[in-house]
Amino acid sequence: MFALEFKAKGKPNQYAAIDEAIRTAQFVRNKCIRFWMDNRGVGQKELYRHSTVLRGEFSFVKSLNSSACQASVERAYSAIARFYDNCKKAVPGKKGCPQFKKNCRSVEYKVSGWKLSETRKQITFTDKKGIGKLKLKGTWDLNFYQLDQIKRVRLIRRADGYYIQFLIGAENKVDTTPTGKTIGLDVGLKEFYTDSDGHSEPNPKFYRESEKRLKFRQRRVSRKKKGSINRHIAINRLGRTHLKISRQREEHAKRVARCVIQSNDLVAYEDLRIKNLVKNHCLAKSINDVGWYQFRKWLEYFGVKFGRVTVAVNPVYTSQKCSNCGAIVKKSLSVRTHVCECGFVMDRDWNAAINILKLALSTVGHTGTSVRLRSPSVVEVNALGDSTSTLAGEILSEQVGSMNKESPRLKAWGVSIHLNKACFQLVRIQTALCRNDFCI
C-alpha cells in the first residue's frame, strides 16, 4: 500500500469545514483514550461501541462520517496497543503511554464519505460537515487505479494549505537487473555519507542554512500581541519556513537513497539509535539536521521496491577497527584520519564504511530486507521493511519496529533466490574483499 498526495483547492468556508472535521476526529480519539483510562483492559470493539455512544450524544460527532469516526478509534487503539507492546517487551525508559492530542492535523475516511468525479480531478465529501467538492492539484493520475483499490482518504492541514492523500492498495514493485555491486555506508555530520568505494556525499545542512531566516520569523512572532490576527499570520509564516526545511531534507534523503539502491545489489549501513544519539546536546541540532532516520527509511523502502538487499549492522567499533588488519585504534571524533600500527592510513569514514560492508557480508544480522535459510536449496529474501534478527551467528539481539514508509500498512512481499547463485555470489564477494576490490 502506498500514498498519492494532492493539493486541495477550495473556498474559505470549505477550509473551515475541514478544520471542524479534524477537530471532531481529535475529539473522538481523545474520548476513546479517556474511556480506556477509566476502563483499563477494554479492547477495540468496546472503543467502537463507545464511538457509537458519542455519535448519539453529540450532534457534531454525528455529522462526521461514521468511517472517519472508526478511523479515529483505530488511531486511539493503535497508541494503546503500542503501549502494551512496549510494556511486554520491557523497552527501557518511557513506554509511551497514550496521551491526549492537542493539535491534530488530519482526518481519515475509509471507503465511504467521499466520491471522486468521473475525471478523477475532483473529490466530494458527502458527510454533513459541509466540506463539499474540492479540486485536486497534482501530477498523479488516479485513472490508473480502480476505485476499489483506494482504501483510505486523508485530509491533512499544513502551514501552506490543505492536502488530500489517497492510500492505494496495490503492489509497488519495479523489476530491475542485478548490478553485481555491494556497498557499505557510514553516515556522518561532516559528510552526509561516505561509502566503501571512497565516495562522499556532501551534507547540505538545510537547517543551518535557514537558521537566520528562522530567527527573524521567530522574532516577528514574539513581537505580536497574543491572540491577534497579526500574530496568527506570523506563526503561519514561521511554520512555512519550517515546512520548507523539512521538505528539503526529506527530498534530499529520498533522492540519494534511490540512487544508492538502484546502483547496488546490497547496501549495508549502521543500525543507529537516533533517539539516544540526540541526548548529546552538543551534537543534537546537527544530528537532527542531517536526517539519518529519513535516509535509512527511504533506503529500506526503495530496497523493497527495487528488490535490493539492505542490511543494518551493529555500529560498535566500526570507526575504531582497522579494515586492513582488524586492530582496534582508539580515536576521538576530532581525529578524521585512521592511522594503524600496520602502516594502513585512510580517511576515518572510509575505513568505517569498509568495516560496515565486511560485517554485513560476514554476518547478516538485523536487516531491512531479511535473508533467511528455509531449505537446503532455497534462500528466501523477505523484504518486509521490518527490522529482524536473522541467520545463525547473528550479532544483534535487539529488535526495532517497522521501517515501512510510504504507508504504515505497507504489505510484505517475498522473493526466492536459488542457493547455488547466492553461494556463487558470496564466493565472488569474498574474492573481491581479499583484493580490496569492492566493485564486483
> pLDDT for 44-101, tens place per residue?
999 999 999 999 999 999 999 999 999 999 999 999 999 999 999 988 888 899 999 9
What average pLDDT score do residues 347-353 get? 90
Q: What percentage of the chain carries pLDDT values higher than 90?
A: 59
Residue 173 lies in a domain: no
Residue 188 lies in a domain: yes
Alpha helices in 58-176 (DSSP H): 59-62, 66-88
Give the residue with greater pLDDT, 130 vs 400: 130
Based on the fold, state whether residues 162 and 254 are members of the same structural domain. no
Residue 439 lies in a domain: no
Bridge partners (DSSP) listed for residue 7: 137, 163
Based on the fold, state whether residues 14 and 154 are members of the same structural domain. yes
At residue 402, does pLDDT exceed 60? no
Domain of 429, in residue numbers: 182-434
At residue 183, does pLDDT exceed 60? yes
Based on the fold, state whether residues 77 and 206 are members of the same structural domain. no
pLDDT confidence band for 378 (50 / 70 / 90) = very low
Q: How far apart are CA 66 and CA 315, in angstroms?
A: 48
What average pLDDT score do residues 412-419 get? 35
Based on the fold, state whether residues 152 and 196 are members of the same structural domain. no
pLDDT of 333 reads 84
pLDDT of 363 reads 65
Residue 176 lies in a domain: no
Structure-block grid coordinates of residue 230: 497579526
Alpha helices in 39-165 (DSSP H): 44-57, 59-62, 66-88
**Strand residue runs (E) in 120-271:** 122-125, 132-137, 150-158, 161-168, 182-187, 191-195, 200-202, 266-270
pLDDT confidence band for 439 (50 / 70 / 90) = very low
Cα dihedral sign, 187-178-365-251: positive
In this structure, the dihedral spanned by the alpha carbons of residues 270, 274, 278 and 279, taken in order and rounded to 10 degrees, is: -100
Burial class of 143 by CB neighbour count within 10 A (0 to 12, 13 to 18, 19+): exposed
At residue 211, does pLDDT exceed 50? yes
At residue 166, does pLDDT exceed 90? yes
What average pLDDT score do residues 247-271 get? 93
What average pLDDT score do residues 289-298 get? 92
Cα dihedral sign, 136-141-144-150: negative
At residue 417, does pLDDT exceed 50? no
Based on the fold, state whether residues 360 and 399 are members of the same structural domain. yes
Q: What mean pLDDT value characterizes the chain?
A: 82
pLDDT confidence band for 382 (50 / 70 / 90) = very low
The CA distances from residue 119 to 5, 132, 138, 144, 150, in Å, are: 17, 17, 13, 11, 16
Based on the fold, state whether residues 164 and 189 are members of the same structural domain. no
DSSP 8-class letter at 321: B
Helices then strands, each counted (H, E), the chain: 11, 19
Residue 413 lies in a domain: yes
Domain count of the chain?
Answer: 2
Choosing from 137, 168, 199, the residue where a domain stops is: 168
DSSP 8-class letter at 366: E
Give the residue with greater pLDDT, 33 vs 372: 33
Choosing from 126, 141, 168, the residue where a domain stops is: 168
- Residues in the chain, how many? 440
Based on the fold, state whether residues 25 and 154 are members of the same structural domain. yes
Based on the fold, state whether residues 146 and 270 are members of the same structural domain. no
pLDDT of 27 reads 96
Cβ-Cβ contacts under 8 Å for 166 (sequence gap 6 or more):
3, 4, 5, 6, 142, 150, 152, 153
The CA distances from residue 170 to 167, 254, 300, 382, 414, in Å, are: 9, 21, 18, 18, 15
Bridge partners (DSSP) listed for residue 180: none
Cβ-Cβ contacts under 8 Å for 122 (sequence gap 6 or more):
116, 133, 134, 135, 136
What average pLDDT score do residues 177-188 get? 90
pLDDT of 317 reads 87
pLDDT confidence band for 409 (50 / 70 / 90) = very low
Based on the fold, state whether residues 277 and 201 are members of the same structural domain. yes
pLDDT of 213 reads 95
Burial 40-76 (b: 16+ CB within 10 A, else e): eebebeebeebbeebbeeeeebbbbbbbbbbbbbbbb
Cα dihedral sign, 263-268-270-273: positive
- 359-363, 367-371, 426-430: range with highest mean pLDDT: 359-363
pLDDT confidence band for 276 (50 / 70 / 90) = confident
What average pLDDT score do residues 411-423 get? 37
Residue 39 lies in a domain: yes
Residue 288 lies in a domain: yes
pLDDT of 364 reads 53
Choosing from 146, 168, 190, the residue where a domain stops is: 168
Cα dihedral sign, 364-365-368-371: positive
pLDDT of 340 reads 87
pLDDT confidence band for 365 (50 / 70 / 90) = very low
Based on the fold, state whether residues 82 and 206 are members of the same structural domain. no
At residue 28, does pLDDT exceed 50? yes
Q: How far apart are CA 44 and CA 225, in angstroms?
A: 44
The CA distances from residue 89 to 82, 86, 98, 180, 399, in Å, are: 11, 5, 17, 39, 10
Alpha helices in 268-319 (DSSP H): 274-277, 284-290, 292-306
Q: What percentage of the chain carries pLDDT values higher than 70?
A: 82
Residue 174 lies in a domain: no
What average pLDDT score do residues 347-352 get? 89
pLDDT 10s digits, 326-340: 888 888 888 888 888
Residue owning grid cell 533506503: 299
Based on the fold, state whether residues 155 and 218 are members of the same structural domain. no
SS3 at position 412: coil
Tell me the whole-structure pTM to 2 decimals: 0.76
pLDDT of 216 reads 96
Based on the fold, state whether residues 105 and 200 are members of the same structural domain. no
Q: How far apart are CA 430 and CA 362, in angstroms?
A: 9
Q: Which of 94, 52, 96 is nearest to 72 (CA)?
A: 52
